[in-house]
Amino acid sequence: MGKKKLNTSKINVSTQACLDIAEIKKNTVILKDGTIRAVLMVSSINFALKSEDEQNAIVSAYVNFLNNLDFPLQIVIQSRELDIDEYVDRLKKRRRNQTNELLKMQTSEYIQYIEELVSLGRIMNKRFYVTIPFDPLSDTHKSFFASLTEALKPATLIKMRAKKFKRYREKLDRRVEAVISGLGSVGLNAVELDTQGLIELFYNVYNPITSKHENLINVDQMRLRTDENNF
C-alpha cells in the first residue's frame, strides 16, 4: 500500500519543477537560479545574394559587434515545418466567395501551385532569437550543494522581489539596447519579445505538437481569470 502511494506521488509532481524557469513577467524570463533573461527576435538577411564588398562589410560589422560585448549571448535558430493547411483553406474560401471568374481561376491556379510546391518537400520556417542574460552574482563562487539546493527550490519560494527585480531589469535594459544597436549596424532588425511573446515562445518549444492545434490565450485574459478566481 505504501509503495502504491509513493508511485502516485511521483506521478503527481508538476512538470514545472523540472523547468529552469521560475516565472515570466514584464518582458523578462526569471530563472530559478536568480538570473534573468531578455529575448530578442531578429530578422535575417540573404548573405549569398550580397556582393563581395557588402559581404565583407557585414562580416566586419558583425566582428565589431561581438568584440564590443562584455557579456555572453545565446543565439538560437528555431526551425519548424511550415503548416500551410490553414492558409490554403482561407484561399479556397475566398475562391468560393469570388464573383469575378478571372480572379476565381487565378486563385485556383495559385492554390494548385502551392499544393504542388508542398508535395515536393517540406517547407521549413526559420526564426532567429538572441537571448541576453543578466547574472547578479557569479555562479562560479557557488558550491555544488548550494547550486543543487537552488535547483530543487519550488518556483513559489524564489520569486524575485519587486525592488530587486527593477534594479536587475534596468541593467538588463542597457544590455538589450546595446545588442539592438549592434545588430542594427549589421543590417539586422531586432525587437524584444514582450510577456505574451515569451510565454508563446516557450509554450511552442515545450509543446510542439499541441501548439499546432491549441492557441495560447492572451496573458491579459489569463490575469483576469486569475483575479476572478480570487474573489
Looking at the chain, the whole-number percentage of residues with pLDDT higher than 90 is 35
Beta-bridge mates of residue 80: 125
Per-residue pLDDT averaged across 163-184, rounded? Answer: 92
Question: Is residue 211 a contact partner of residue 203, using CB atoms and an 8 Å limit?
Answer: yes
Predicted structure pTM score = 0.67
Question: Is residue 155 a contact partner of residue 22, using CB atoms and an 8 Å limit?
Answer: yes
The least confident of 25-34, 47-56, 134-143, 147-156 is 147-156
Q: Which carries the bigger pLDDT value, residue 11 or residue 92?
A: 92
Mean of pLDDT over the chain: 79
Measured between alpha carbons, how far is 33 from 20 in angstroms, rounded to an integer? 8
Question: Is residue 133 a contact partner of residue 29, using CB atoms and an 8 Å limit?
Answer: no
Query: For position 78, what pLDDT does the model report?
Result: 87
Per-residue pLDDT averaged across 48-71, rounded? Answer: 93
Give the per-residue SS3 of the chain.
Answer: CHHHHHHHHHHCCCHHHHCCEEEEECCEEEECCCCEEEEEEECCCCHHHCCHHHHHHHHHHHHHHHHCCCCCCEEEEEEEECCCHHHHHHHHHHHHHCCCHHHHHHHHHHHHHHHHHHHHCCCEEEEEEEEEEECCCCHHHCCHHHHHHHHHCCHHHCCCCHHHHHHHHHHHHHHHHHHHHHHHHHCCCEEECCHHHHHHHHHHHHCCCHHHHCCCCCHHHHHHHHHHHHC
Q: Which carries the bigger pLDDT value, residue 133 or residue 81?
A: 133
Cell of 217: 490565450
How far lies 137's CA from each of 86, 133, 134, 142, in Å? 47, 12, 9, 9
Per-residue pLDDT averaged across 28-34, rounded? Answer: 89
Query: For position 15, what pLDDT does the model report?
Result: 62
Q: What is the CA radius of gyration of the chain?
A: 24
Query: For position 56, what pLDDT does the model report?
Result: 94
Domain ranges, ordered by start, for the chain? 11-79+127-223, 83-121
Query: For position 225, what pLDDT does the model report?
Result: 41
Measured between alpha carbons, how far is 161 from 169 in angstroms, rounded to an integer? 12
Confidence grade of residue 155 (pLDDT, cut at 50, 70, 90): very low
Measured between alpha carbons, how far is 179 from 176 in angstroms, rounded to an integer? 5
The one-letter amino acid code at 71 reads: F
Query: For position 192, what pLDDT does the model report?
Result: 95
